[in-house]
Amino acid sequence: MIDRLKSNWRLALLSVILLISLFVLFSPTMAPDTDVGGDTASQSSVTNLQYGLDLAGGTRIRAPLLGLTAEGVPLTTDDSAANVAAAVAAELPTTNTIDVTVRRETLNGPTIEVTDPDVSESQFADALDAAGYEYNTIRSGVTQETRDEAINVIEGKVNQAGLSGASVRQVNDVTGGFFIVIEAPGQDRQSVIDLIEDRGNVRIDIYHDRTNTGEYTTERAVLTREDFASISNAQQSAQGGGGPNVPVTIRQDGSAEALQQLVVDTGVAQQGGSECRYESQPNATDPCLQLVVDGQVINSFGMNADLANSMRRGEWAGSPSFILTTTSFEEAQDIALNLRAGALPAELAIEDGSSNFISPTQGEQFQRDSVIIGILAVLTVSGVVFARYRESEVALPMILTAFSEVVILLGFAAYLGYPLSLSVIA
């Protein structure tokens, strides 16, 4: 037996690989994982194969990133990126520093980008002149670095949402314009748009009466995504009651201590806690923590007495965790997703691009047609081999090897979760 295996080791190796491929293709234990929400992340099928847009149906969206770029800006070593961004943003009344990006090393030299969709080219030019920065030209669009960052963020959102087989890439047209293409098999158009249309910039502000005279002010971005050490999944309600929420933990590299001191100084963590009445009495409320997404206040909340006293004693920073409450579970899911994936550096102009939807029924028809064509191709190859060699001892091993190669390739595709499309099958 051993001698026969040694003399036919190639056949034995092929058989082992074939069995492993069949196991990967059909075993329920090798089925794709479920997504963060618990929904199956792949199309229901007898096999564990993932199908691309052509074979599963789904949505393809092609859209540019909104922005303006000033190229050839002669920045000096004394010009810090933060100071330049602040100076330009100060000259644009509806823009803050998060919408201004300064890059020293790009293909076209130092650049300044503005990604506020409400800023026109003339306004951007006036702002650069007023801030004292020269430039060679201003063009529509963003830099390659910003496009790469946007692709990474969208990929993160797609992965967090559990969109199996989805892909994100960059393409350009004949006019030189650049577009981001998102393909999501098995998803309808609106669900994909809901996932990517907002930038997803999440921050925590503090709203308080600075002088105790009724003149309220906002301390912006006291916490941003970079300050969070961990973000848990969205929950329907907190322990002991409360609405939908996202439990989070703050980094202990200075962020927790800084927040602890700030909430004490602003009165959020006052003796006995604080009661936020921002929605009903914005000019007569205790200091509030505000959850802000893309510039919109999603929720405002005070602080209970136990947490406030813990912060006042300086103990909270040793175990810096708390709960971001929201008004709905869907909102909590979006916030958790955006905190994990990050914010888009620029807005996707979906209305300036294109989108198309392939129905699941049409995708199933493509699957059937692909199987029929595959069977016809195998029969054709088999007929040619038999016609050429006229001996089954020669033709059958060649045909079986060809079949085995197809099964092995499909097994690899299933193991890697690679989405099969018409072009791949061809």
Q: Can you tell me the distance from the alpha carbon of 73 to that of 88, in angstroms, rounded to the nearest whole number?
A: 13
**b/e burial code for range 196-218 (CB count within 10 A of at least 16 → b):** bbbbbbbbbbbbbbeeeeeebee
Residues 221 and 312 in one domain: yes
Give the pLDDT mean for 325-344: 91
Each residue of 186-207: pLDDT tens digit? 899 999 999 999 999 999 999 9
Q: What is the CATH number of the domain that holds 157?
A: 3.30.70.3400
Same domain? 213 vs 263: yes
Do 79 and 120 belong together in one domain? yes
Q: Which domain holds residue 313?
A: 202-329
Mean local confidence (pLDDT), 262-269: 96
- What mean pLDDT comes out for the span 52-62? 88
Q: What is the pLDDT of residue 28?
A: 86
What per-residue confidence (pLDDT) applies to 4? 74
391 within some domain: yes
In terms of domains, do 298 and 231 share one? yes
Do 181 and 294 share a domain, yes or no?
no
Domain count, the chain: 4
Residues 228 and 305 grouped into a single domain:
yes
> 337 in a domain, yes or no?
no
Supply the pTM of this predicted model.
Answer: 0.76
User: Domain for residue 29, yes or no?
Assistant: yes
% of residues, the chain, pLDDT over 90: 58
High-pLDDT (> 70) share of the chain, % = 95
CA pair distance 216, 87, nearest whole angstrom: 25
Which pairing describes strands 321-325 and 245-250: parallel, antiparallel, or unpaired?
antiparallel
To which residue do tokens 């430039």 refer?
A: 135
* Model confidence pLDDT, tens digit, residues 407-416: 999 999 989 8
Both tokens assigned to 271: 């003796």
User: 270 and 319 in one domain?
Assistant: yes
- List, in sequence order, every residue forming a beta bridge with 249; answer none if it has no partner: 230, 321
Q: In this structure, are residues 402 and 395 in contact, taking their beta carbons and an 8 Å threshold? A: no
**Residues 391-402, mean pLDDT to the nearest whole number:** 80
Q: How far, in Å, CA of 102 to CA of 79, rounded?
A: 10
Residue 127 counted as domain residue: yes
**228 shares its domain with 322:** yes
The b/e string for 250-278 (b: 16+ C-beta within 10 A; e otherwise) is beeeebbbebbebbbebbbbbeebbebeb
- Which of 356, 391, 412 is the last residue before a domain boundary? 356
Q: Are residues 158 and 207 in the same domain?
A: no
Cα 404 → chain centroid: 38
| Residue 341 resides in a domain | no
pLDDT value for 3 = 74
CATH code at position 120: 3.30.70
Domain presence at residue 336: no
**pLDDT over 80 (residue 45):** no
Quick one: 352 and 368 in the same domain? Answer: no
Amino acid at the residue 42:
S
Closest Cα to residue 246, out of 310, 184, 322, 306? 322
